[in-house]
């Protein structure tokens, strides 16, 4: 049975468990001020801080480096907390070998073919870091930048404002882009992300968050038993370099049909050309709702073993569902366990990959005077 966080608290109160047992007074009273501590230092001596937040039964740790969600803890059906997001326990591993664990992604989430696009008649060449293509903003994307972090409490909400200014020409992108990302933990324990950006020259923008979810707990094994539902009748098939062909294909009758909940593993070994290209699921679903003014339902993930659920609502038209195919047992995670293929999945709300080269896709162009705004809400249950 699915309950919300308040039901858990009521049950906990009936069982004589105090709010402190469940992670502090934040649960009972709403958010308290985020707590800052030193996480580590970059090679040049720059300090990286960790910010701890708790509200409504959700506990979050965020790094100033990459805006990384280093840990996100939520209770299972018995009120037992686990960190459900993959990561590292030290800054050196994040710098040396992170496959974007928990990071903010920009200036452009997912791939741009050959790292090239033309805007208003001017050709731009980006930093290429994925074969011949640009992935997640290039070799030094927003995930590898130190963000200015400003904590806030507002009513019963608690959160962080993260600021980063990407200068004109950074990684090949035109225009100085001023980015503000707000992470909010609500009194219900939702984690909300609001992205905003402005530019001084026409540019392209596609921001997202790259949390690797395992609702049974990071390091606990495969997510192939997780049940997933995606509100999308179409997806964008790709070529061998994972660049969309431009087609909006129907999911009906394919392994990409998640309109009814099914396990991630159910069709992952079907002999399908698209699954061969992705080494599993690594595709953009075109959400039925399209672009919306307010976050609307996109996907539901459930782990039957713990009962934990995650619902994602977004203003964005696309969702990249990546089944952790490139995790290969070479990284040791936060809890000291090795991450192997399929040990987590990502659900990245976004505009479609390679939109700057795909005239039929929703536009990712941002012009001076406009403000880029998108929002995504993560709702946890158990």
Q: Which residues are catalytic?
A: 210, 348
Radius of gyration of the chain (CA): 20
Stretch that binds ligand BGC, among 51-59, 194-202, 227-235, 319-327 (CB under 6 A): 319-327
Query: By C-alpha distance, which of 285, 311, 337 is closest to 227?
Result: 311
Q: Which residues contact 153 (CB under 8 A, 6 or more apart)?
A: 31, 32, 33, 159
Shortest Cβ 110–ligand BGC spacing (Å): 6
CB closer to ligand BGC out of 347 and 366: 347
Cis omega before residue 260 (within 30°)? no
CB closer to ligand BGC out of 56 and 102: 102
CB closer to ligand BGC out of 199 and 323: 323
The residue written with tokens 């087609």 in the block is 247
Distance CA 369, CA 374 (A): 16
Distance CA 239, CA 229 (A): 25
CB closer to ligand BGC out of 326 and 370: 326
The reply to whether 141 sits near ligand BGC by the rule CB under 6 A is no
Whole-number Cα distances in Å, 142 to 173, 175, 285: 12, 15, 24
The reply to whether 282 sits near ligand BGC by the rule CB under 6 A is yes
Stretch that binds ligand BGC, among 14-22, 69-77, 320-328, 362-370 (CB under 6 A): 320-328
The residue written with tokens 């936060």 in the block is 334
The reply to whether 100 sits near ligand BGC by the rule CB under 6 A is yes
Shortest Cβ 314–ligand BGC spacing (Å): 15
The reply to whether 285 sits near ligand BGC by the rule CB under 6 A is no
Query: By C-alpha distance, which of 151, 129, 130, 149 is closest to 140?
Result: 129
The reply to whether 320 sits near ligand BGC by the rule CB under 6 A is yes
Q: Are 227 and 259 spatial neighbours (Cβ–Cβ below 8 Å)?
A: no
Distance CA 335, CA 338 (A): 9
Among 91, 238, 242, 243, binds ligand BGC (CB under 6 A): 242
| Phi, then psi, of 273 in degrees rounded to 5 | -55, -40
The reply to whether 98 sits near ligand BGC by the rule CB under 6 A is no
The reply to whether 276 sits near ligand BGC by the rule CB under 6 A is no
CB closer to ligand BGC out of 189 and 278: 278
Among 170, 316, 343, 348, binds ligand BGC (CB under 6 A): 348
| Phi, then psi, of 344 in degrees rounded to 5 | -165, 165
- Interface residue list for ligand BGC (CB under 6 A): 99-100, 110, 242, 282, 320, 322, 326, 346, 348
């Amino acid at each position: 049975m699915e309950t919300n966080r308040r039901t858990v608290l009521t049950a906990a109160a009936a069982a004589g468990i105090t709010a402190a047992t469940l992670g502090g007074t934040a649960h009972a009273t709403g958010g308290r001020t985020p707590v800052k501590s030193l996480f580590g230092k970059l090679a040049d001596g720059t300090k990286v801080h960790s910010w701890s937040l708790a509200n409504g039964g959700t506990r979050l740790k965020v790094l100033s480096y990459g805006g990384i969600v280093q840990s996100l803890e939520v209770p299972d059906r018995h009120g037992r907390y686990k960190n459900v997001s993959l990561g590292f326990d030290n800054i050196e591993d994040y710098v040396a070998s992170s496959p974007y664990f928990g990071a903010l992604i920009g200036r452009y989430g997912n791939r741009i073919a050959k790292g090239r696009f033309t805007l208003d008649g001017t050709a731009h060449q980006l930093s290429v870091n994925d074969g011949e293509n640009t992935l997640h903003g290039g070799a030094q994307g927003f995930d590898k930048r130190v963000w200015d972090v400003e904590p806030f409490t507002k009513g019963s909400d608690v959160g962080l404002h993260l600021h980063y200014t990407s200068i004109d020409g950074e990684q090949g992108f035109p225009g100085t882009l001023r980015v503000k990302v707000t992470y909010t933990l609500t009194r219900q324990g939702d984690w909300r992300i609001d992205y905003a950006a402005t530019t001084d020259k026409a540019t392209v923008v596609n921001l997202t968050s790259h949390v690797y979810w395992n609702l049974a707990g990071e390091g606990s094994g495969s997510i192939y038993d997780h049940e997933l539902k995606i509100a999308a009748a179409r997806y964008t098939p790709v070529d061998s370099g994972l660049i969309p062909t431009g087609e909006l294909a129907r999911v009906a009758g394919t392994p990409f049909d998640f309109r009814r909940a099914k396990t991630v593993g159910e069709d992952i070994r079907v002999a399908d050309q698209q699954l061969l290209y992705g080494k599993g699921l690594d595709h953009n679903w075109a959400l039925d709702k399209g672009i919306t003014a307010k976050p609307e339902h996109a996907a539901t993930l459930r782990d039957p073993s713990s009962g934990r659920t995650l619902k994602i609502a977004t203003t964005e038209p696309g969702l990249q569902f990546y089944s952790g195919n490139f995790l290969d047992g070479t990284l040791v995670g936060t809890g000291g366990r090795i991450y192997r293929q399929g040990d987590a999945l990502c659900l990245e709300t976004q505009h479609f990959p390679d939109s700057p080269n795909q005239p039929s896709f929703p536009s990712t162009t941002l012009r001076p005077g406009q403000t880029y705004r998108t929002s995504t809400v993560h709702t946890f249950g158990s």
